[in-house]
Amino acid sequence: MNADVVLAAKDGCRRSLARTLSALENNTLDIADALSIIGEVNSDNHHDSTWKIMAITGAPGVGKSCLVDKIISQWASQGKKIALLAVDPSSSRTGGALLGDRVRLSVVDDIMLKDRVYVRSIATRKSSSSVPAVVSDMAKLLLALGWHKIVVETVGAGQSEVRCAAIADIIVVVEGPARGDGIQAEKAGLLELADAVIVNKSDMVGARKHADEIKQSFELGDGQIPPVLLTSAITGDGCQFASDVLLTLQSTGRSSKARWRERLLAGLEQRVLQNPHLDSVLLSLAAGSIELEDALNKLNN
């Protein structure tokens, strides 16, 4: 990629920023080269000891997108520059993805705030998890370009959501009423990594009960208990308080081993996906001409 495009992104050109992020996504630009072109990482971020990358995850239908809209609007109104990386699932049959997150975000149409908010949709493509490894490179680039906070909204596809631990400083899990008891939520594998839990749709029956059950499940375990907050993205109740809590949220450190496990798996997966022999190996496996062990050895070379 032409270095002038990266430099234009540094100067604030949104079109050049989009092209630079696409180059990272398409493997036509290496993150190390991009950071070298940009030069010194923005000094404003050096004086901020709070998190830089937050993953917001949870099951489909709990209101993640609407809640994210409320929260980043609050942060932008306080002068923060917020970049939202919204991950959409790719079809296993066609490889396509809807990438329609911007449609549900009112903040991008707010003339007073839109210069402080950047939204990028990302398809999972070949990634086996809900958070493709390239998201980490995109977040590094955006931070280097001076964006204060990076929010990653994940697909909401079940246990694969734990992969967001590979890139995030802190993880926020969004729950909804009638999602089962707190123990069932714990079994989903996300709450063990959560630095905060938000029970959205607090205007609905059962929300407070579900929040109490989640708190009780945390109390049965070890380590620091993360905050459990109630919000309603529809009425706005609790959203201001939640945005204040999340802006200065610290990692609970409840599961650092699990976080590093996911980072290791993400790194190994990225090596496989970027291997130039991957497509030919897949064709050989499908044709039955090689065994799985041979395929793994070939991709490991």
User: Over 60: is that where the pLDDT of 24 sits?
Assistant: yes
With a pLDDT cut of 90, the percent of the chain lying above it is: 44
Which DSSP helix (H) or strand (E) runs through 171? strand 170-175
| pLDDT value of residue 138 | 93
Is the separation of the CB atoms in 258 and 192 below 8 Å?
Answer: yes
Q: What is the CA radius of gyration of the chain?
A: 20
Instruction: Give the range among 27-41, 133-147, 257-271 with minimum mean pLDDT.
Output: 257-271
More confident residue, 260 or 89: 260
* Band of pLDDT at residue 125, cut at 50, 70 and 90: low
State the Cα–Cα distance between residues 119 and 101, nearest whole angstrom: 8
The ranges assigned to domains in the chain are 1-39, 42-254, 269-301
* Band of pLDDT at residue 89, cut at 50, 70 and 90: low
State the Cα–Cα distance between residues 261 and 20, nearest whole angstrom: 29
| pLDDT value of residue 167 | 79
Q: Which amino acid, one-letter code, is at 105?
A: L
How many Cα atoms are found within 13 Å in the side-chain-facing hemisphere of 31?
A: 14
User: Over 80: is that where the pLDDT of 206 sits?
Assistant: yes
User: Over 70: is that where the pLDDT of 80 sits?
Assistant: yes
Which DSSP helix (H) or strand (E) runs through 298? helix 292-300
With a pLDDT cut of 70, the percent of the chain lying above it is: 77
Mean pLDDT of 96-112: 56
Is the separation of the CB atoms in 175 and 198 below 8 Å?
Answer: yes
Structure tokens at 233: 């993205």
State the Cα–Cα distance between residues 267 and 171, nearest whole angstrom: 19
State the Cα–Cα distance between residues 84 and 251, nearest whole angstrom: 20
Task: Give residue-wise pLDDT tens across range 180-196.
Answer: 544 444 545 667 788 99
Four-CA torsion 253, 191, 174, 182, nearest 10 degrees: -140
The domain made up of 42-254 is a member of CATH 3.40.50.300: yes
| pLDDT value of residue 255 | 65
Q: What angle do CA 173, 176, 178 make, to 5 degrees?
A: 135
Mean pLDDT of 256-279: 80
State the Cα–Cα distance between residues 241 and 118, nearest whole angstrom: 23
For the chain, the average pLDDT equals 81
Tell me, what DSSP letter sits at residue 129? S
* Band of pLDDT at residue 257, cut at 50, 70 and 90: confident
Instruction: Give the residue among 291, 290, 5, 288 at the shortest CA–CA distance from 145.
Output: 5
If one counts every other C-beta atom within 10 angstroms of the C-beta of residue 45, the result is 14
State the Cα–Cα distance between residues 278 and 295, nearest whole angstrom: 9
| pLDDT value of residue 95 | 44
Distances (CA, A) of 246 to 55, 136, 192, 215, 235: 11, 20, 18, 17, 19
If one counts every other C-beta atom within 10 angstroms of the C-beta of residue 292, the result is 8
